[in-house]
């Protein structure tokens, strides 16, 4: 039986990790996988996370199963962080296996509710969105998003394409810090997208994986909050991997805002059912870390402060890189790097130029020219800037 399997194409981002490890050159620079690294190149355990784990270790008296939906305290604390004002009578939620699990369960839920569902995704988007939909056999189409000329959002194209989504279709939106481009919607543009969805009855699925990495915890959730306040039905797939730095704990949340309480109850039951079909109980340790931090004033303040340090470090690197490239190129054509938000920017280089950076300068970025800003530090920014110019980008 097993010999009937076909070879699966590996994940290109994850492959880059191995390629980087195997490179023996001194001074190689990893701008590949989306993991935050401090200026020393370390992905730290955040202070509040350590403290919360210590507290959990001291006080936890059982590791018996939680509920199928995960712990209510975690779900309500995270829902408040994301939505600020939570319409509790309309909100269903389940803890999931990371943000990826939330996306997968959201798509499963959409298909349970509408077997003919189509999904509209940004061009480009996180490769796993496409891979999961292909695996599930869900039909999807791409909407225009990235303007290769300005490296900003092709908003007219986006609106025209999203308007094609019909009632009961899903429109997948990145809540903030778009992966892989770094180009984001303004709040006014979110309002225009909400109006289009209001007219068509298509349902947004907001993928929120980087809250706190762009303009701040509240600012990064504003688009999601606007959509949630305006539309009768909204799905939100949230990840705590990045903003709590707990990547391997697999901590996510699927939220569904329903039209009324009866529909909320149906959604809640179906979401718990989907958890049971896929893995029974969701992981608890990461969720417990998050709820411990969010419900304790001192831990929460310390976590938010450290997250701000992370965010400001990335913003500083963006500014430094844009400035260096302005000086070296004698033009403002790289200023978009300072305007982008989150971990990533798409440079707009060709695959050949990306390969040249790897071969000539030992600088690794994803083939579509996505670079992870957090892979840089004050010393490596000038090296990257020089290499970009030398590669003719």
Name the residues that contact ligand PLP, by CB under 6 A: 34, 98-100, 126, 174, 179, 207, 209, 239, 241, 247, 252
33 contacts ligand TYF (rule: CB under 6 A): yes
Quick check: is 50 catalytic?
no
Q: Does 96 bind ligand TYF (CB under 6 A)?
A: no
Q: Which entry of 147, 228, 242, 267 is annotated as an active-site residue?
A: 242
CB of 382 to ligand PLP, least distance (A): 28
Residue closer to ligand PLP, measured from CB, 105 or 356: 105
Tell me if residue 207 is catalytic: yes
Please, which residues have CB within 8 angstroms of residue 199's CB and are 6 or more apart in sequence?
A: none
Which of 251/380 has CB closer to ligand PLP?
251
| Contact present, 205 and 152 (Cβ < 8 Å) | no
11 forms part of the interface with ligand TYF (CB under 6 A): yes
Nearest distance from C-beta of residue 343 to ligand TYF, angstroms: 8
242 assigned to active site: yes
Longest dimension (CA), the chain: 63
21 is catalytic: no
Selected binder of ligand TYF within 125, 179, 211, 345 (CB under 6 A): 179
13 binds ligand TYF (CB under 6 A): yes
132 scored as a contact of ligand TYF (CB under 6 A): no
Q: Is 256 in the site for ligand TYF (CB under 6 A)?
A: no
Among 34, 245, 282, 286, the residue binding ligand TYF under the rule CB under 6 A is 34
Contact set with ligand TYF (CB under 6 A): 11, 13-14, 33-34, 126, 128, 179
Catalytic residue positions, numbered: 126, 207, 209, 242
């Amino acid at each position: 039986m097993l010999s009937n399997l076909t070879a699966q194409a590996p994940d290109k981002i994850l492959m880059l990790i191995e390629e980087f490890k195997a490179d023996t050159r001194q001074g190689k620079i990893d701008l590949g996988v989306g993991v935050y690294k401090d200026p020393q190149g370390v992905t730290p355990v955040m202070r509040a996370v350590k403290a919360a784990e210590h507290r959990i270790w001291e006080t936890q008296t059982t590791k018996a199963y939680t509920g199928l939906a995960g712990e209510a305290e975690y779900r309500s604390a995270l829902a408040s962080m994301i939505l600020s004002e939570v319409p509790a009578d309309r909100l269903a939620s389940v803890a999931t296996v990371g943000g990826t699990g939330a996306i997968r369960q959201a798509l499963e839920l959409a298909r349970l509710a509408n077997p003919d569902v189509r999904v509209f995704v940004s061009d480009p988007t996180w490769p796993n969105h496409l891979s999961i939909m292909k695996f599930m056999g869900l039909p999807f189409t791409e909407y225009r998003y990235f303007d290769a000329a300005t490296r900003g959002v092709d908003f007219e194209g986006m609106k025209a394409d999203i308007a094609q989504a019909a009632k009961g279709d899903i429109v997948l939106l990145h809540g903030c810090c778009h992966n892989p481009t770094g180009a984001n919607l303004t709040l006014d543009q979110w309002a225009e997208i909400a109006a289009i969805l209001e007219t068509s009855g298509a349902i947004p699925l907001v993928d929120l994986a980087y809250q706190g990495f762009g303009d701040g915890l509240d600012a990064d959730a504003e688009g999601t909050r606007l959509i949630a306040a305006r539309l009768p039905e909204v799905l939100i797939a949230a990840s705590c991997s990045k903003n709590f730095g707990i990547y391997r704990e697999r901590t996510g949340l699927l939220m569904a805002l329903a039209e009324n309480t009866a529909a909320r109850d149906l959604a809640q039951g179906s979401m718990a059912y989907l958890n049971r079909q896929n893995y029974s109980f969701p992981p608890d340790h990461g969720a417990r870390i998050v709820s411990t931090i969010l419900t304790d004033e001192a831990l929460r303040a310390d976590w938010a402060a450290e997250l701000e340090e992370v965010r400001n470090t990335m913003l500083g690197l963006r500014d430094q890189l844009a400035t260096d490239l302005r000086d070296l190129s004698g033009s403002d054509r790289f200023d978009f790097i300072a305007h982008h938000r989150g971990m990533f920017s798409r440079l707009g280089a060709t695959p050949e130029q990306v390969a040249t950076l790897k071969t000539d300068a030992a600088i690794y970025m994803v083939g579509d020219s996505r670079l992870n800003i957090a892979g840089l530090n004050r010393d490596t920014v000038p090296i990257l800037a020089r290499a970009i110019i030398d590669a003719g980008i």
